[in-house]
Amino acid sequence: RKIVKDDLFESIQIPISFINTEVEESGFLKEACEKDIGVIAMKPLGGGRLEDPGLCLKYIFSLKSVVPVVGVESVREVEELVKIAEDPTRLRKSDFRKMEEIRKEIGTYFCRACRYCEPCPEGISIFKVLWLPIYVKQMGKQRVLSGSIPQDIEKAKNCTQCGKCEERCPFHLSIIAGLTRSITLLEKLKTKN
């Protein structure tokens, strides 16, 4: 909020998605709009964790004076996003129900893969380790175990708990605890294999 009050910027870029609605609920967006400060929503798809781009962008487009910035990997993805942006359909009750279901499923407390926590002094690829449950869900246990992810997680055992990653995290995640959870999950996956 200090950014808006100081009147130093014409636009700001901050993480906004239907998962983390604090920015909207705090009145920050309203204040920015009143001061004619443009707001760019980064991570509107939750760093790739949210699987319904249509729902994610409908939420962003429902916010006054907010423009999303979305990473894409193909022309097809750009075409899909343009189609979504051109659709005048607003959020419906069913959309709000679906957003709530997703919040309950994945929580509001997760890594968005922004990588602000890195570099780790021990060379740990923090976001890869924290994303283990997502990789398992998206790729399946066998594919995860046969790839490079287990080596990344093994490296996480070298964590000295210095806390530098947690100091840098804009989402205030308990990264050290998350590393431990992923190490434990990997061990369970290996024993069930």
Average pLDDT per consecutive 10 residues, the chain (193 residues; last block may be shorter): 78 88 85 91 84 90 89 89 84 93 78 91 95 86 91 95 95 93 93 75
Whether 91 is covered by a domain: the verdict is yes
Domain of 166 in residue numbering reads as 126-192
Same domain, 102 and 41: yes
Helix, strand or coil for residue 62? coil
HSE on the CB side for 21, CA within 13 Å? 13
In contact, 157 and 127? CB cutoff 8 Å: no
164 and 80 together in one domain = no
What per-residue confidence (pLDDT) applies to 1? 62
pLDDT at 139: 84
Residues in the chain: 193
d(CA 176, CA 156) in angstroms, rounded, equals 9
Q: What is the rounded distance in angstroms from the CA atom of residue 142 to the CA atom of residue 35?
A: 52
**Helix and strand element counts for the chain (H, E):** 12, 3
Rounded distance, CA 107 to CA 101, Å?
9
- How much is the pTM? 0.70
Which pLDDT belongs to residue 171?
84
Asked if residue 157 and residue 88 are part of one domain, the reply reads no
Query: CATH number for the domain including 17?
Result: 3.20.20.100
Q: Are residues 64 and 20 in the same domain?
A: yes
Residue 157 has a pLDDT of 96
Q: What is the DSSP letter of 41?
A: E
Strands (E), 64-155: 66-69
One domain for residues 99 and 31: yes
Residue 117 lies in a domain: no
Residue 152 lies in a domain: yes
In a domain, 166, yes or no: yes
Sheet holding 66-69, edge to edge: 11-15, 38-42, 66-69
Strand partners, 42: 15, 69
Determine the Cα–Cα distance for residues 78 and 170; give it in Å rounded to an integer. Answer: 28
25 and 89 assigned to the same domain: yes
Q: Is there a single domain that holds both residue 59 and residue 93?
A: yes
SS3 state of residue 69: strand
In 3-state terms, what secondary structure has residue 153? helix
Q: How many domains does the chain have?
A: 2
Q: Is residue 111 part of a domain?
A: no
Other beta carbons within 10 angstroms of residue 74's beta carbon come to 8
Give the integer Cα–Cα distance in Å for 68 and 58: 10
In this prediction, residue 193 carries a pLDDT of 62
